A and B are shown apart, each in its own frame.
Chain A
Amino acid sequence: MAIIKSNSEIASAIWRMTVSGTPLGRAGQFFMLRVPGALDPLLGRPISICEIDAELGETTFVYQTVGRGTAQFARLLPGQEIEAQGPYGNGFPLKAGRAVLIGGGIGTAPMLQLAKELHASDPTRMIDVYLGFREEAYLEKSFEQYADSVTRNIGGYVVNDVDFSLDATYYACGPAPMLRAAASAADEASANLFVSLEKHMACGVGACLGCTCQTEHGRKRVCKDGPVFDYREVRDAI
């Protein structure tokens, strides 16, 4: 059980919640968050780790209120408990060398912890961040401490801003059309790209087979074998 330290709206319908007492995790992993004891909504909601402060023992989530579960989270107050099961999933691989991070909308959230880990593991590496938003930017400033460049795009196609011909590893999280665009760009430039996928989930641990997707190597569970995949493996699932 985690205790909520803060929970506030940082942009329209975008909330940032910091909790303490959660087991840690790493970039690209997620927790199944749930209001303790609630039977409606019943299932946990998969929410990515946005930022970990290991010293303070705090984990931050950034979530968009889209339905009943996330609306319920937005009503929680500091001091209240939230069930955070996890960390689940494989997380992003930290590849050596230059990194390019692409976040679309709420897909920006997991990119922050990724930038932090990439920077910490090699402070000399070049990190370029591209963030795309429909109307309003958020989290942008937090990237500046880790990244060499932060490019934002409001209302357009963030993937069009990215140069895929660099000698770098590309990481992307965002809506399916954005991931598809990134995949075709990566194809053309023969770039290495890792994508984080989203599927409706019931268990989050790999037991219910509710989130499986077709991959080059048979069916895989997004919650357990993913959510991060080499884009070539999950072409048909994006």
Chain B
Amino acid sequence: MQSNPLELTLCGIFLKNPVIAASGTFGFGHEYSEVMDISRLGGISGKGLTLNGSAGNKGMRVYETPSGMLNSIGLENPGVRHFVEHEAAYMRTLGPAVIANLGGHCEEDYLEGARLLNNADIDILELNISCPNVKAGGMAFGMLPDTAADITKKVKAVSKHPVMVKLSPNAPDLVAVARACEGAGADALSLVNTFLGMAIDVKKKRPVFENIYAGLSGPAILPIALRMVHQVAHAVNIPVVGMGGITSAEDALKFLMAGAVAVQVGTMTFADPNAMLSIIDGLAEYCAQEGLANLQEIVGII
């Protein structure tokens, strides 16, 4: 039997290909399962969860910018308990690896959330210390090496799942944060979350978003995200999952060559729900063309 050149293991979990739906852009899979074949994905990272759920931010929430978008969703989510009781089992039926993305406002939120997630049939816990859209906590945990290491260590201690820490590109010294998370026991890293940006409504003479600042994603951020993935992947020995503006198989290959073992795709799915499927097809074609037995052979060649 011919082996599948796209398969890999990430934190001991089998992925049939390295294309993962990015957190917050795919719900828990329900919506896109109606418009595309989501069973073909390598993995799905669910909407960012907080312990008690949240109604999210008021006012404008999404705003297009040149080749990208700003969002200020503010982690609207049904809470960890709802996820454990209703969504995790559903996600398991879909086929792709199941990743739960956990955010929090304070240490105890994260730890209680991680404890509750021990009761869910998930593959990986993605520890989101990088959401720029919540007032308390969120990104604050991911800005400095010490706080990032501290929360990683504590979550690792209570979680029975592999922990992948999702990093913020807004950290003043991202490589130091990445190394600190590795030192604290992180099983993998994912990056980047959105860049803190801003929009102003000139006619109304006021910021577009109630929170003033919002998170930038999409093709506009790709070159910066790629540089950051390259720097981090070369600084740590744990697997790195790369993302930021990926729209095509060629973009995905850039992240793999820069050192990511897998990629996540977010904003492009909004523009074209089938984008991830085209990326998977394109990666398979690339392996055939290049005569690669496994795509992982090109990881980190640059």
Contact = CB atoms under 8 A, between A and B. Distances in A.
A202 B69 contact: yes
A205 B34 CA distance: 9
Nearest to B65: A42
Interface in B30-62: 30-32, 34-35, 47, 55-56, 60-62
Contacts of A201: 62
A66 interface: no
B247 interface: yes
A93 interface: no
Contacts of A219: 55-56, 76
Contact of B66 (A40, A206, A211): A40
A34 interface: yes
A208 B73 contact: yes
Interface string B8-50: 0000000000000000111100111011000000000001000
Interface string A219-230: 100001000000
Given A39-B219, A210-B71, A203 B55 contact: no
Given A202-B270, A205-B34, A210 B62 contact: yes
A154 interface: no
A198 interface: no
B152 to A, nearest CB: 27
A207 B31 contact: yes
Interface string B234-257: 000000000000010000000000
Contact of A207 (B25, B66, B67, B68): B25
A57 to B, nearest CB: 20
Contacts of A85: 35, 272-273
A34 B271 contact: yes
Where chain A touches its partner, the secondary structure class is: loop
B218 interface: yes
B62 A207 contact: no
Interface string B266-294: 01011111000000000000000000000
A200 interface: yes
A44 B271 contact: yes
B64 interface: yes
A205 B60 contact: no
Contacts of B76: 209, 212, 219
A133 B274 CA distance: 39
B166 to A, nearest CB: 18
Contacts of A202: 62, 69, 71, 267, 270
Nearest to A69: B64
A117 interface: no
Contact of A43 (B34, B47, B64): B64
Interface in B155-191: none
A43 B270 contact: yes
Contact of A211 (B26, B61, B69): B61
Interface string A67-101: 00000000000000001010000000000000000
Give the residue among A41, A200, A203, A207 with the most B Cβ atoms within 10 A: A207
B298 to A, nearest CB: 24
B25 A208 contact: yes
Given A85-B273, A205-B31, A41 B64 contact: yes
A44 B62 CA distance: 13
Contacts of A211: 61-62
Contacts of A83: 272
B62 to A, nearest CB: 3
A4 B55 CA distance: 41
A44 B271 CA distance: 6
B64 A212 contact: no
B97 to A, nearest CB: 18
B272 A207 contact: no
Nearest to B76: A209
A44 B219 CA distance: 15
B27 A207 contact: yes
Interface in A167-215: 200-212
Contacts of B31: 203, 205-207, 224
Give the residue among A39, A201, A206, A211 with the most B Cβ atoms within 10 A: A39
Given A83-B272, A200-B61, A210-B62, A42 B35 contact: no
A44 B275 CA distance: 13
Interface in A8-53: 34, 39-44
Give the residue among A44, A201, A202 with the most B Cβ atoms within 10 A: A202
Interface of B: 24-27, 30-32, 34-35, 47, 55-56, 60-64, 66-69, 71, 73, 76, 218-219, 247, 267, 269-273
19 contacts: A34-B271, A34-B272, A39-B67, A40-B66, A40-B219, A43-B270, A200-B61, A202-B69, A205-B32, A207-B269, A208-B270, A209-B24, A209-B47, A209-B61, A209-B76, A210-B61, A210-B73, A211-B62, A224-B31
